[in-house]
A = this chain, B = another copy of it.
Amino acid sequence: MILRGDMRAVVIDTPGGPEALEVRDFAIPLVRSDEVLIKVTAAGLNRTDVIQRGGRANLPPGATNILGLEVSGTVEQVGESVTGFKPGQLVVALTDSGGYAQFVSVPEGQVARAPQNLGLVEAAGIPEVAATVVLNVLMTGKFAPGETVLIHGGTGGIGSFAIQLIKALGGNVLVTSGSDEKCVQARELGADLAINYRTENFGEVVQAYGGADIILDTVAGSYLDANLKAMSTGGRMITIGKQGGASANIDFTLLMKKKLTLTGSLLRDRTPAKKREIMAQTVKIVWPLLESGAVQGTTDKIFALDDVVAAHRYFDEGTHQGKILLDCR
């Protein structure tokens, strides 16, 4: 039986600022045979949502104009071929779109049991940051304990989670942040070194520290030179954002001499099979650390679904530390 009924969801019809977002009524989504229908408790905000809001997103096949890439909630219904979940279970999920809603259908491979010892609202902020760090730093970057990881934006959603996770896995974590206050907060989260990029040249500071084996790069263009300087021999940089511009001059001499590896990645456009693999690795590696308390959720602020415009305005201000969530109940 396919459920139908009304739900509230946030759509973007005409690209623009926060005010371009609209909360409207929709039919509850159909559940395909391999999907889990989740009654959403909360949804996390991500930069990719802002990019989609502005009309600059490269949407994966099947994505809709309902925003939202991660949720927590309760299983409402499962498709015929779903074996891992049943109605009533508490779950989190990586969604291809549609997370800012009261219900969302998600391929089974992108759903995971909710981690214990974490409120279900707060759990909505875990899937994207956890999967991003697992995919890029662990799977692609091949992080090994004892290595040094440089994270740009040490107190944002990804940064505040990545600091804790990499420390828990035995790494050294260096971060850049835009104020001395944020640097203090990054240190409190466990960063070994926090560099105020407005007052210091992070390339030189990291080099003096001994260099970074891995850089999780959300800036691209304007940071390329300093990033290349910051890396140790054999260093790997994974670019997942372009806040500093989409292009820059690359120095092949340094690339060859230090045997550096540069790669780029997006989580959203991965195939369902790849997302299943990433999700499985994330549950395996991150959930035990969340459940032991070694890694904690880092929620900054929770808005009601109907206040999504205010939530996006707050995101755009860039002063948040940790995740911004929408309560979709």
Contacts and interface: CB of A to CB of B under 8 A. Distances in A.
A260 B264 contact: yes
Interface residues of A, number: 30
Contacts of A58: 257
A310 to B, nearest CB: 30
8 contacts: A239-B256, A242-B256, A246-B252, A249-B249, A255-B263, A256-B265, A257-B269, A259-B265
Contact of A255 (B249, B254, B262): B262
Interface of A is mostly: mixed
A251 B224 CA distance: 12
Interface of A: 58, 220-221, 224, 239-240, 242, 245-266, 269
Contacts of A242: 252-253, 256
Given A239-B255, A242-B256, A250-B250, 7 more contacts: A221-B252, A242-B253, A245-B252, A248-B249, A248-B252, A249-B250, A259-B264
Nearest to A244: B252
Contacts of A254: 264
B265 A262 contact: no
A220 to B, nearest CB: 4
Given A240-B256, A248-B249, A249-B249, A263 B264 contact: no
